[in-house]
Structure 1
Amino acid sequence: MAKRAVLLLAHGTPATVDEIPEYLRNVVSGRPMPQHVVEEIQHRYSLIGEPKGHSPLTELTMEQAELLRAELARAGVDVPVYLGMRNWRPYIADVVKQMRADGIEEAAVVCLAPQNSRTSVGLYRRAVLAEAGGMRFDFLEGWAGEPLLADAFAERLRVAVLRFSSETSEPVHVLFTAHSVPVRTVEAAAPGGDAEGKPIHWPTAKPGAEAVADPYSVEAKLTARLVAERVPEVAAWSFAFQSQGASGGPWIGPSVEETLDGLAAQGVKAVILQPIGFLCDHVEILYDIDIAFREHAAKLGMRLERPESLNGSPILAQVLAKLSLEGVARLASAQG
């Protein structure tokens, strides 16, 4: 029988401000990064974390891997769990090499980015395959529609909605978000439908040309809808893309800022923002949401709060175990 394992893949970030330049070179695959962009990101990192200037993403991701190991052990499954990061240590390439050295022949691969995009999952996959050698993989492309994922986010959201509703006399609007991606990632897409089944039109796709759709935008909105359906206390909700990049051309929207502007014009005074594209705290939550978006909302006369991030959510550990075991079972079946 083949020796199997589970491989988790994630974004990864450094722990300190001084490591930001090296990290950013990894993010942009070595392309030059304007110095003012580097300094701005260093500034944002300096304002977050405990102590200040510390991003908890890598530690939280490692904790999620440990929770998965415990969940698999409770299920009586003796499968090692590895964790590789694209942009920081432990790097995916180094982890896959270690797996080969450990004699691993097959692995179920789960990305800690539920919504599939060429800019995340696609790059993770490329990094795995570059070091695969003769290893075989069951690579989960995306799990945006997994019910347990929606349950995990809904559990956090319900607590926040009930608390916020009791503190304000205003109706609470929920704004779901996911990280934006460059327009070029999704613009050449085949006809399809959005999360509500409505047609998607991609104006830059040439008629009759063969194109491959990036499913990210559709999958992000699908996760948001599934979460909203599980929290009946949510009377109204909308969706926006956050944290658009500072370089590389246009990024998909609408942005959070313009969405908040529109909600304020409608008279909305209280907003809960839940980022359903992120599984743990990091700079795009601790700075972009907790500082920048909250300040933007305050200038509009709005109060903005967010639910606790999933981080060590037991339901998240359960869904990771479910996805991992399904991948291992597919590998066993293929061998069978």
Structure 2
Amino acid sequence: MTAKIGVLVMSYGTPESMDGVEEYYTDIRHGNPPSPEQLKELKDRYEAIVGGVFPLRENTDRQVEALQETLNRGRSPEEPQYVCYQGLKHARPFIEDGVEAMAKDGIKHAVGVVLAPHYSVMSVGIYIKRAKKKAEECGIELEAVESYHLHPQLIEVLSRRVAVKLDAFEETGAVRGDVKVLFSAHSLPERILAMGDPYRDQLLETSQAIADKTGVKNWQFTWQSAGRTSEPWLGPDILDTMKELSEAQVKYVLSAPIGFVSDHLEVLYDLDIEAQALAADLDMRLMRIESLNSDPGYMDVLSDVVRKKAGELKVSRA
């Protein structure tokens, strides 16, 4: 009998329809519903990008399907079969739902992986904690991938995207070296720095590795999509950075949101609409690298880290 290994593919989640926006953000806000004004603003953002159809959910579904196919491609009869399950932080199926689905299918051994290459105790750490707690309750042995921010193939696929857009700038007549590359990721509260959290350092390491591979010298790291809370968040924000660059007579900017692996709202709205509008006001040319989504190279990265982590499981091959 072929052994089966469950793979819990975790991500932030998104509402399935416009009717689910309020419930989704109530969960994000720890049970506090958004005000009518906040709810309208949120719905307006979704309407602005895709007219009420949410590509993030579709992207995540495709990523889960593609990862399962990649994991089992060329599998020998002696190797375990991988079965992927989805677990979302703020929407159904929740992380706990994904683990329960594994248990119902008789899965006894599993690997958890988050669709985010960089670790923070406030992001990936929370996913893993929830998954392991539920797995223990269900009698499932679960090991989790914490980060993969310097995986050679991840650096390769991201570098390729940067190079393609730099070529596109040159085709418009820009000098390659004049293009400022802005690597970015979702901001987190500043207090993670005092905690010794590796999030910022891992992001800088990924940025440096891509810059080295592409020969980019003109780059810097910035933040985006900070939460609206009373405590300070990591900055500067990309919009503030763009204003500073404009004052320094920078005319060409390439946005490389390496902290995101899908076309999230923070990419499709915060960058493609909000940042682009500012770029127009500043008379600045702004391009963005393509998101990884279900790129085969990214699927190979996930497959590799999942397989390596599965090697730590006590799986019977009988």
State the TM-score, normalized to the length of structure 2: 0.91
Would you say 1:144 and 2:149 are equivalent positions? yes
How far is the alpha carbon of 1:14 from its aligned partner? 1.2
How far is the alpha carbon of 1:306 from its aligned partner? 0.5
The aligned counterpart of 1:226 is 209
Equivalent runs, 1:1-336 vs 2, <5 Å:
3-49=4-50, 52-76=51-75, 78-132=81-135, 133=137, 134-170=139-175, 171-184=178-191, 186-189=192-195, 213-232=196-215, 234-332=216-314
Counterparts of 2:163 and 2:108 in 1: how far apart (Å)? 42
SS at match of 1:48: helix
Counterparts of 1:333 and 1:222 in 2: how far apart (Å)? 34
Counterparts of 1:91 and 1:72 in 2: how far apart (Å)? 23
Counterparts of 2:230 and 2:104 in 1: how far apart (Å)? 38
The aligned counterpart of 1:193 is none
One-letter identity of the residue aligned with 1:316: Y
Consecutive unaligned residues of structure 2, counting only runs of 5 or more, are none
Question: CA separation of 1:34/1:251 partners in 2, compared to 1, >3 Å: closer, same or farther?
Answer: farther
Counterparts of 1:333 and 1:99 in 2: how far apart (Å)? 15
Identity between Structure 1 and Structure 2 (%): 36
SS at match of 1:251: coil
Question: CA separation of 1:237/1:218 partners in 2, compared to 1, >3 Å: closer, same or farther?
Answer: same
One-letter identity of the residue aligned with 1:293: A
Counterparts of 1:264 and 1:278 in 2: how far apart (Å)? 25
Counterparts of 1:242 and 1:273 in 2: how far apart (Å)? 11
Comparing both structures, which one devotes a greater share of its residues to helix?
2
Is the CA contact 1:272–1:305 (under 8 Å) kept in the aligned structure 2?
A: yes
One-letter identity of the residue aligned with 1:242: Q
CA-to-aligned-CA distance 1:227-252 (integer Å, 9 cap, x gap): 222212x3411110101112242211
Counterparts of 1:228 and 1:38 in 2: how far apart (Å)? 39
How far is the alpha carbon of 1:3 from its aligned partner? 4.3
CA-to-aligned-CA distance 1:167-196 (integer Å, 9 cap, x gap): 133521111100001223x1432xxxxxxx
Is the CA contact 1:182–1:248 (under 8 Å) kept in the aligned structure 2?
A: no
Counterparts of 2:242 and 2:4 in 1: how far apart (Å)? 51
Counterparts of 2:228 and 2:88 in 1: how far apart (Å)? 23
SS at match of 1:31: coil
State the TM-score, normalized to the length of structure 1: 0.86
Question: CA separation of 1:327/1:26 partners in 2, compared to 1, >3 Å: closer, same or farther?
Answer: same
One-letter identity of the residue aligned with 1:106: H
Counterparts of 1:236 and 1:28 in 2: how far apart (Å)? 38
Q: How many residues align?
A: 308
Counterparts of 1:2 and 1:80 in 2: how far apart (Å)? 11
SS at match of 1:330: coil
Taking only aligned residues, the RMSD between alpha carbons, in angstroms, comes to 2.0
